[in-house]
Amino acid sequence: MNAATAPPPIAIALDRHTRRYAEQFATEQATPQKGKQVYLNTLAVCAVRTYLNCLAIATAPQQGKCWQPGLRAAFDVNDLIVPGRGRIACCPVLPAAATATVPIALADDCLGCAIVRIGDCLDWAYLLGFVSPERIRSDDEVPLAELQSLDDFLSVLERSSRHTRLQEWFAGIFAPEWEPSDILLPATGSTLRTAAPPVEVLAAPDEASHHISRGKVLRWHTGGDEQAIVLVVKAALHADRSTSLCMRLYPCGNAHCLPSGLCATLLDASDEASLQVRAGDADNWLQLDFLCQPDEPFNLELDLDDVRVREIFTA
């Protein structure tokens, strides 16, 4: 983007509730300089939250680092959690600024950074554009005339909507489609033709510090018919931050067996197959067990009658 073609910024009113949060957080700080930083960060986060909520995109500011008293006192934090999609940095700039300073560390922690100009009277904010992680890695001082558009920002959020970050699960952040597995499979044990070992049995209690189990329904169409299965993911976080994973596929609804020929493939970061299982004529569950290192990406690909569905994960 350049100054000649940049769309006008989007104006966001900063209401009294937003300013009250900012004032409260600022007065907790040890110095006026730190208080100003926290005040502006809070306004920027709330402005981006308002913008996304107007687009019916749910946000969870209270789950971000900037809402935690100890973290905002110790660090320059301005993150906004978008459940099921990731973390967005919200960088405030003053009216006279020509550049935005974006810490390089954000490139590995966020989907990118929204740049927010705070008005002179502190009652309006203006969303100027977006900085991608790739740009942050190359230059932490970004001219405002070179920002990516807010359309690019929304495209990033859209692409990340099917991207599940397991570290968010351990922080208690779940996309709405990921439900407790016992809700999706309340009576599986009594209806399966062949009993499956409990999906919870993944690691001994002294080997993992945190266990999470969630499931979702996956749907796709083959030959004009809708197919649906339940994917249950059990994750155990270890002391070294590695994650043990058990992925289990079950029939959905009144079906007693998985679709015959259903193939589940685990793909690594290079899109190479590392594990694969296939359903027979009477299989009522399939399972993949593996270990991931911190922040390791992987995909689960389901293939039935040459129709593929892919779920994207980061450990």
**Per-residue pLDDT tens listing for the chain (315 residues):** 544 455 689 999 999 999 999 999 999 999 999 999 999 999 999 999 999 999 989 898 998 899 999 999 999 999 998 876 778 999 999 999 999 999 887 777 788 999 999 999 999 999 999 999 889 888 889 999 999 999 999 988 887 666 888 988 998 888 888 999 888 885 544 344 344 554 443 444 344 458 999 999 988 766 657 788 999 999 999 999 999 999 999 999 888 899 999 999 999 887 789 999 999 999 999 999 999 999 899 989 898 887 778 888 999
Note whether 87 and 158 are same-domain residues.
yes
Domain limits for position 40: 10-163
Note whether 142 and 199 are same-domain residues.
no
Note whether 140 and 182 are same-domain residues.
no
**Is 2 contained in some domain?**
no
Indicate which CATH number applies to the domain containing 239.
2.60.40
Residue finishing a domain among 163, 195, 218: 163
Note whether 159 and 188 are same-domain residues.
no
d(CA 150, CA 280): 47
| Number of domains, the chain | 2
Note whether 24 and 121 are same-domain residues.
yes
**Is 275 contained in some domain?**
yes
**Is 170 contained in some domain?**
no
**Is 42 contained in some domain?**
yes
Note whether 199 and 242 are same-domain residues.
yes
Note whether 298 and 187 are same-domain residues.
yes
Note whether 139 and 35 are same-domain residues.
yes
**Is 77 contained in some domain?**
yes
Note whether 204 and 292 are same-domain residues.
yes
**Is 1 contained in some domain?**
no
Note whether 71 and 211 are same-domain residues.
no
Q: Which amino acid makes up residue 246?
A: C
